[in-house]
Amino acid sequence: MKKHNLKICIATTVRVFVMLSLICCTHVAISTNNKNNLNPLILVPGNGGNQLEAKLTKQYKPSSLICDPWYPPFKKKNGWFRLWFDSSVLLAPFTKCFASRMTLYYDQQLDDYFNAPGVQTRVPRFGSTYSLLYLNPRLKLVTEYMATLVESLEQLGYIDGENLFGAPYDFRYGLAAPGHPSRVGSKFLNDLKNLIEEASNSNGGKPVILVSHSLGGLFVLELLNRNPSSWRKKFIKHFIALSAPWGGTVDIMFTFASGNTLGVPLVNPLIVRNEQRSSESNLWLMPNPKMFDAKKSLVTTPDRTYSAHDMVDFLKDIGFQEGVYPYETRILPLMAKIEAPEVNMTCIVGKGVKTPEELIYRNGDFDEPPEFSYGDGDGTVNMVSLLALEKLWKDEKNQYLKVIKIGGVSHTSILKDKVALEEIIGEISRINSHAQLGLSNLSLATWDEK
């Protein structure tokens, strides 16, 4: 009887082992098969959406004693340290150090933007999603950016460095209209192009899905339009733009006029205002006169009102005269030409979140925060900007454009909100399964989600 039971036990153990082996092998086969069926995907972050590191050289001149090159004390062996995001920015004495090191300078003779003398900057781990997950890995709870989105992509079968990639960049720099140098921005476009080609080549020649957030969408659109149709057809499967400010924002006018702490407590907005004004990419986000109504007042003072067509006067009146020349020569011509790339596109945007639509300075003092008049949008970008491509490209041929609007989702929560993530992952799954329609003529499709 004992021998019989032993035989049964052994037989049962063998069957269980075989079943577990089959399950394990089946899981591996499914995972491998799923991975092989996925088009490579590249994430392009928005303004302030990735880590930034700095290094100080002998040419660096501190703005105060507390900003001496010894600070911060904890640096890597080669002198690099975290510039964005570092918690020391919350402390008033160090906020000035941060602002001076982040400030860009426009050289009119060279017609380009540069770091402060003695400040070198770099973006860590280009090609990986590492610096997009958290702006500071030591402060994960308060600086999460794309971590939840990346986790959702991993559940779909994506693996960082294999078929999932990140394209972080120095978000202070933007691009300029043709004929003007843009050393840092142009290098990023070239690096992104190379990453796209490498991602495709390392995945059996499959074309790439590009997923951008916010400002990243403007960079991606420029990349597509600056490369020939043959290149786009070979390397680009689909472009998904999340919360893209195609026509700029009223909120950025608040940043230029009064400084913007972005909700960070204890920080004096006037300390960071000059640094924010110096950002080339912030000029690129000014309300586009092609998309905002010329009769619509965006800023009101006792003396006058400013529409999207009055940006030059606005820059002068807030005391930022030095921003006028690069705006007129480099940025405005760039805004004027937003071409359809003839690449299948999906725009996913939030709606129904109160968004600054007009700034009212009753005393005419831009050093004081204004009163806000609100309208529809995602809390940061106005609806007219989020939906601008529908209007701009309505008569274009060979351009497929799908727009998904999600109620109650803000500019940044779109990267972690459950409903938004379901839409994003669902769209990526449909693209991978070839479920979307391939239309030869322009198709404007709009979905409204509750």
Active-site residue set: 214, 378, 411
- Pairing assessment for the beta strands 371-375 and 81-84 based on DSSP bridges: unpaired
Place of tokens 């004693």: 65
Rounded CA separation 156/428 (Å): 9
C-alpha dist (Å) from residue 400 to 57, 203, 207? 49, 25, 17
Q: Give phi and psi for 358, each to the nearest 5.
A: -150, 140
Q: Give phi and psi for 169, each to the nearest 5.
A: -155, 170
Amino acid at 25: C
Q: Which residues contact 28 (CB under 8 A, 6 or more apart)?
A: none
Rounded CA separation 148/76 (Å): 28
Q: H helices then E strands: how many in the chain?
A: 17, 16
Contact criterion met (CB below 8 Å) for 128 and 160: yes
Bridge partner list, 289 = none
Return the half-sphere exposure (C-beta side, CA atoms, 13 A cut-off) of residue 417: 20
Residue 325, classified by CB atoms within 10 Å of its CB into exposed (0-12), middle (13-18) or buried (19+), is middle
Amino acid at 13: T
- Pairing assessment for the beta strands 112-115 and 104-107 based on DSSP bridges: antiparallel
Tokens coding 205: 């020649």
* Prior bond of 181 cis (ω within 30°): no
Q: What are the helix (H) ranges across 139-227?
A: 140-143, 147-156, 183-201, 215-225
* Other beta carbons less than 10 A from residue 26's beta carbon: 10
Exposed e or buried b per residue across 36-55, where buried means at least 16 C-beta atoms within 10 angstroms of its C-beta: eebbbbbbbbbbbbbbbbbb
* Other beta carbons less than 10 A from residue 131's beta carbon: 23
Rounded CA separation 163/404 (Å): 25
The terminus-to-terminus CA distance of the chain in angstroms comes to 66
Q: Which residues contact 13 (CB under 8 A, 6 or more apart)?
A: none
